[in-house]
Amino acid sequence: MSATAKKLVIVLGATGAQGLPTAKYLLQNSSGLFRVRAVTRDRNKPASQELAALGAEVVGADYDNEASLADALTGAHAVFAITNFWDKASYDLEVAQGKLVNKLASQLPNLKSYIFSSLPDARKSGNGKFQNILPYNAKAAIRDDLYTYPALASITTEIFVAFYYQNWLKYPAVFGPLKDENGTFVLSMPYPRSTRFPSTSADDTGVVVDSILRAGTKYYGKIVALATELSQQDDMLALWANHLGIKAVFKQVSAQEHQKRMSARMPDHLAVAVTELCENLCYGEKTFGDSKNVISARDMPAKHKQIIPSSYKLKSWEDYVKEEDWSEIV
Ligand SMILES: NC(=O)c1ccc[n+]([C@@H]2O[C@H](COP(=O)([O-])OP(=O)(O)OC[C@H]3O[C@@H](n4cnc5c(N)ncnc54)[C@H](OP(=O)(O)O)[C@@H]3O)[C@@H](O)[C@H]2O)c1
């Protein structure tokens, strides 16, 4: 197929935890079908250079600059859309950015697939207890806005990516086990040690997006959840500690204690948001909402059909732990 006949997939957030593996997976596995335009604010950073070397068209654009984003989206057959709450840790800014992406996507004449990386609305689960998980609330507002564009909504697939394994390294002070004065790593969380919640390697986002794109119209209007592990938290901690030959303990703390610890590191409204986010994890698979509407990328919950190829091995926590470089926190 000639380069121009290949369908153009725009990957937003292409240097990030979800966007980078998405762009790479498409380039490495589906270059016969798709060409990839990778969008970043910084075309010189290593991730951008890596994508360019793999054959991506790397373009500069900023969600806060409408003209740059409109240029970046021109000619799209498909868009992988993601906004990053944590970039400025602002609900209002993330919602404004997401709305702009929706608006510009709705104006694309040849768009056939809009894959929106979102999150469940925690205000509707957890008995209404968690009203302040700002990154989740922002995704809900962006989703509501998306449904004001019926044509765009009709070609949308949402993906819910579970809690990343990478979070211990990406946000160590918030999610990771921290070394105490005795050299023991303590994972302090406002839920019991036996808690099981869905988690995954963010790197596996790529196969999910590729599978949705290859399926054409099949997943229009669906939510696809990427979740790989459902192991107990203390077991995951023990596996990590055994692999590294270190001592680690799980410590359940109250929500108030957790929030106080977070408040030492961030403004109060964010401390509330991350504490509620952690408490919400207690609800395990239910955090993904009504399972009738959610298709699992693989068989979790087991009753759902998988959408990714059966030959693809999603990364287990054990494999991730063995492959990761932990030197930054250990
Ligand atoms: N952590 C989790 O477990 C988890 C799970 C599910 C969903 N999420 C959600 O995932 C989102 C973050 O995605 P991620 O983990 O892939 O983040 P990430 O690794 O921090 O990467 C963020 C990406 O967004 C791009 N970006 C940020 N602000 C931008 C702007 N103003 N204009 C253009 N590009 C911009 C960055 O591009 P540059 O190259 O320009 O920096 C980068 O590629 C959050 O909203 C979070 O709520 C997280």
Does residue 330 form part of some domain?
Answer: no
Average pLDDT over residues 143-162: 97
Does residue 296 form part of some domain?
Answer: yes
How many domains in the chain?
1
- Mind listing the pLDDT tens digit for each residue in 295-326? 777 654 444 457 899 889 999 999 999 999 99
Cα of 17 from ligand 1 centre, angstroms: 7
User: What CATH number is associated with residue 28?
Assistant: 3.40.50.720
Does residue 157 form part of some domain?
Answer: yes
The CA distance from 65 to 283, in Å, is 38
Show the tokens assigned to 238. Answer: 């023990």
Structure confidence at residue 290 (pLDDT): 64
Phi first, then psi: give them for residue 138, nearest 5 degrees.
-65, -40
Ligand 1 mutation target, pool 65, 66, 79, 87, most atoms within 8 A of CB: 87
Question: Which residues surround ligand 1 with Cβ inside 6 Å?
Answer: 13-19, 40-42, 62-64, 82-87, 119, 135, 161, 163-164, 167
Structure confidence at residue 19 (pLDDT): 99
* Coil, helix or strand at residue 245: coil
**Domain membership of residue 199 as a residue range:** 3-323
- Mind listing the pLDDT tens digit for each residue in 84-128? 999 999 999 999 999 999 999 999 999 999 999 999 998 987 678
Question: How many whole angstroms from its chain centre is CA 88?
Answer: 17
CB 78, CB 213: distance < 8 Å: yes
Does residue 143 form part of some domain?
Answer: yes
The CA distance from 207 to 222, in Å, is 17
Residue nearest to atom 7 of ligand 1 (CA): 161
Residue of higher predicted confidence among 180 and 301: 180
Show the tokens assigned to 74. Answer: 């021109």
Does residue 329 form part of some domain?
Answer: no
Shortest CA distance to 281 belongs to which of 205, 229, 203? Answer: 229
Does residue 15 form part of some domain?
Answer: yes
The CA distance from 252 to 247, in Å, is 17
CB 202, CB 21: distance < 8 Å: yes
pTM above 0.85?
yes
Does residue 328 form part of some domain?
Answer: no
The CA distance from 309 to 298, in Å, is 9
CB 151, CB 236: distance < 8 Å: no
